[in-house]
Every structure is written in C-alpha cells, then in structure tokens.
Amino acid sequence: MLMEHGLRDDRLAQGLGFTQFLTPDGGLAKQLDGRMDDSLLLDMYRNMVIARQFDRKAVNLQRQGRLGTYAPFEGQEAAQIGSALAIAKDDWMFPTYRDHAATITRGQSMTTVLLYWAGRLEGGAGTKSLRILPPSVPIATHLLHAVGMAWATKLRKENVVTVGYFGDGASSEGDFHEALNFAGVYHLPIIFICQNNGYAISVPFSKQSASKTISQRASAYDIEGERVDGNDVLAVFDAVSRARERARAGGGPTLIEAVTFRYGAHTTADDPKRYRDQELATDWRAHRDPITRLKRFLEERQLWTEDFEADVMADATARIEQALDEFARYDAPNPLDMFEHVYAEMPWHLKEQAAELERAMEKDGMQP
C-alpha cells in the first residue's frame, strides 16, 4: 500500500508499492493477525524513543568537541529497531557505522558507541558476546564478510541467521553484487537489509541506478526480495521475521529494501542543505515520522499514556547519563594508535610516519 501526502520523492512513485502495516496517521493498513503482541509494540516504541534521545545527545557531544565526528540516524529508527527485534540472540549482526540504533537495541552499550565515535580502540571491537561485528566504514565490504559468516554457519549446521545492514549507496558497489551472487549460489541463511534513505551522501538514488527499486535486484540472483515501508516498525519487523524463518527452514537469502528518510546530515561534517531540498525532510518528519506513527497507533489501542511516556523518557535519560559517566573515565585517544593493530611487524614506511607524527605531537606539547 502506498503512503499518501504527495511528497516529491521518486521512491514513492505510483507502481512502486511496499509492504505496510501502519499508515502515516497510525491506522492499520494490514491486520496484525497475532504477529505482534502489546508487549512487543511497547518495546518497539521504548527502543525507538531511547535511540532517538541517544542520537541527539551524540550530535550535541560532537558539537562540543567530545566526539570526533558522528553519523546521525534520526528518522531511520523503525528500520533499525524493527529488524533488530526480529532476530534471535544466536544470530549474527553486521552493522555499518550508522546502525547503532540496531546494535544498542540488541544490547550493545551506549558507552561502546561513544568510544567508537571518540576514536578509542575499545569502541571499534564489536561485541562478541552479542554476535555484533565491528561497525563497517568502507561501503559494502562487510556484506562479503557477512556472507562468509552465513556460509560458515551453514557448513557447521548451525540453525542461525546472519543479518547485514547497508544503505542505498552501497547497492552501487561491486561488493554488494558479489555478496548477493555468492549468497544466492550457495543458498545461504542471510538477510540483506538496505535502508534506502534516498541519497548516497549527495547523490540521489535516481542518479545512482536505472532500476526503480533496490529490492527488484534480488531477482537477478534468484533470491527473495521485498520492499517495505522503512518508517513502519511493524512492517520491518514482520518482513525480517519472515525472512529469518525462511532462512532457517533452508529457504536461502532475502534482500529487504526499507524505504526511509534520515532527517539530518550524512555525518556532522556534512551540510545536506547544499544538495537536498530541506522541505522534503520537513515533510517526512511531519507526515511519516516512525515514532509519531507508532505512538498514534498505541494511543488508539489505549496502550500509550503520559505515565508510560514519562517512564520511557526517564529510562532514556538514565541510560544516556550512565553511558556519559562511563565514557568520561576514558582518556582521549592517542593518535599513534592508528599505526598499531594492522601488521604483525610494522613496515619501515609506517615507522617513519609514526616517528614524524610523534615529533609533531611533542612540538605541539601533546603527550604521545
């Protein structure tokens, strides 16, 4: 079912429909039929609100100089949290640098995320106990790693699923196509989740590809493909849940395209006003916001109350403040760390560069 409001977004053109449970005004476009109970619905809302509050705090921390840079996700909460809640503890998660709403929902500490954006090594190690891999900055390269994990679990006869996140820009990379091809050939238990934000930094999707959707590319690799309303947390949860069960039953890979919109910049070093009509962001926030949509639905079912909202906000504040306290105990990262942990024995040219940087730091009064 197509959403209405007449937005100037080519991804919502007639004929390019997608799976949708919640309409923008919070009504049901498709019956739940027992797929999601009240407890889960409230958990979805709580996690989305907490993630948004964390995201806003992280942006403020970057502006204060306490983080090096930051990739915000506000507007994409439903795509990340709906998918994270749909997978099991034994499944594997391969996130990008922007998927901290998903990783936090899965159990990763907010402190770890802050350390990552502050440049501390501890933040980029992933969380092995939660089967969360380190966030991937190189675009689409981690999809091949995710395929390797899915292949390994299949060879070991482990009935688990691997999930790989990426954005629409990654679908223009060769790694994306190689990953889908390999997954299709070996019929692997993997779910590829594309958050189609409509822009690869400054390049709109219409200039990235002649294909109208990303999900239609699944047919080229003979795997399942589905397009969902990425701002509808119920639709995302349902699509990923079905893809997971299909994969565990031997049905192979699924490519899910979640059509969404990030309100803010690509990163805090970016200015979207230079390439994107800001009225579009205003329209998405006003008419399609994932949190507002779910709140209206919960209100209609008499599940949302002001007391519940106050409890959620208090929970968000407490968790964020705890993370900030823990984060403050760490020293600033040592720039010389960038030369470590790559080679077993550092080659000569890196030794020279490290020495040059150390001299520059001493000249500027910085302690190496």
- Annotated catalytic residue 5: no
Task: Spot the catalytic one: 46, 120, 142, 262.
Answer: 262
End-to-end CA distance of the chain: 58
Report yes or no: 193 and 218 within 8 Å, Cβ to Cβ: no
- Annotated catalytic residue 266: yes
CA distance 135 to 125: 8
Task: Spot the catalytic one: 5, 63, 275, 359.
Answer: 275
Task: Spot the catalytic one: 52, 266, 288, 293.
Answer: 266
Buried b (16+ CB within 10 A) or exposed e, 306-325: eeeeeebeeebeebbeebee
Among the listed residues 84, 72, 43, 91, the one whose alpha carbon sits nearest the alpha carbon of residue 193: 84
Instruction: Give catalytic residues, as residue numbers.
Output: 262, 266, 275
